[in-house]
Amino acid sequence: MKLDITQGHTVVSFSNDLARLRSLVLEMGEMVVEQVNKAITALIDGDMILGRLVVERSRQVHDLDMRANEEIMQILALRHPVATDLRLVLALSKCVHELAAAASKAKRIASFAIQLHTDVSREPRKKFLVHVQHMYDWARQMLSKSLEALETIDAQKAIAVVRDDDNLDVSFDTGVRHLVTFMLENPANITSALDMIFVIKALERIGDHACHIAEQVIFIDQGRDVRYLHPDVLDKSQDSA
C-alpha cells in the first residue's frame, strides 16, 4: 500500500485537514455507488419505494458535496497548498464535481423508473432491460474501481478504468443499435426502446464520470494531465517512469 500523501506535514492540523477532505470525498463516492445500484434495481425490479428512496437520499449527496467544497475552500484559503498538496486538493475538487454529476444521473434514472412503472403502457420489457443490465455492469465496475484507485492513489488501477471506457462505449453503441432495430421492426416498440436509450445514455455518462475520477488519480500520482491521452500511451509512460 502506498504512503498516505495526506500525512507527514510539519503542521499536524494540515495533515488532518487533507485526510478529512479525502475521507469526505470517499464517503460521497460510496453513497453515489449505492445510489446508482439502487436506481437500477428500482428500474429492473419495478421497486418504486426504492426509487423514491434514491430521490430522497440525493439530498444527502448534495450535503456531502457542499461539505467537501467548503473544506476545499478552507484549505486553499488558510493553508496555501503547493506541489503535491495542491495537486491533491485540485484533483479532489474535480472528483467531487464528477461524483455529484454521477449522483444526478442516478436520481434521474430513479425518477424515470418511477414514471415507467407508474404507467403500465411504458413498463420496461425484459428484452430491452438486457442492454440496461449490461451497461450497468460496466458503469458500476468503473465507478467502484475508480474510487478504489482514489483511496490508495493507485495509478495502475486508474489506468485500467480509463481503458474500460472503450468497452463502455462499445456496449452503449451496441445497445442503441439493437434498440433502434426493435423500433424499426415494430413501431409499437418505439416508446419503450427510447426509454431504455435514455437510461443507457445516463449509465454511459456515469462511466465517463468514473473515467474522469481515474484521470485525477493519475494526476495526483504523476502530476500529469492525461485527459486527452490514449490509454496505450498511459501504459507506456508508466513503464518508462
CA distance 107 to 118: 17
Flag whether 1 is in a domain. Answer: no
Residue type, 183: M
Flag whether 5 is in a domain. Answer: no
Whether 206 and 145 have beta carbons less than 8 Å apart is answered as no
Flag whether 33 is in a domain. Answer: yes
| Domain at 87, CATH number | 1.20.58.220
Flag whether 4 is in a domain. Answer: no
Flag whether 209 is in a domain. Answer: yes
Flag whether 74 is in a domain. Answer: yes
CA distance 91 to 34: 23
Residue 79: which domain range? 12-240
CA distance 2 to 222: 13
Flag whether 192 is in a domain. Answer: yes
Flag whether 21 is in a domain. Answer: yes
In the block, which residue shows the cell 458535496? Answer: 65
Q: What is the pLDDT along the chain (241 residues), one digit of tens a residue?
A: 455 666 656 567 888 889 999 999 999 999 999 999 999 999 999 999 999 999 999 999 999 999 999 999 999 999 888 888 999 999 999 999 999 999 999 999 999 999 998 888 888 888 889 999 999 999 999 999 999 999 999 999 999 999 999 999 999 999 999 999 999 999 988 998 999 999 999 999 999 999 999 999 999 999 888 876 777 667 655 554 4
Distances from the Cα of 206 to the Cα of 26, 37, 135, 136, 220, angstroms: 16, 12, 10, 9, 21
What b/e readout covers 92-130, taking b as 16+ CB neighbours within 10 angstroms?
bbebbbbbbebbbbbbbbbbbbbebbeeeeeebeeebbe
Tell me the pTM: 0.90
| Structural domain count, the chain | 1
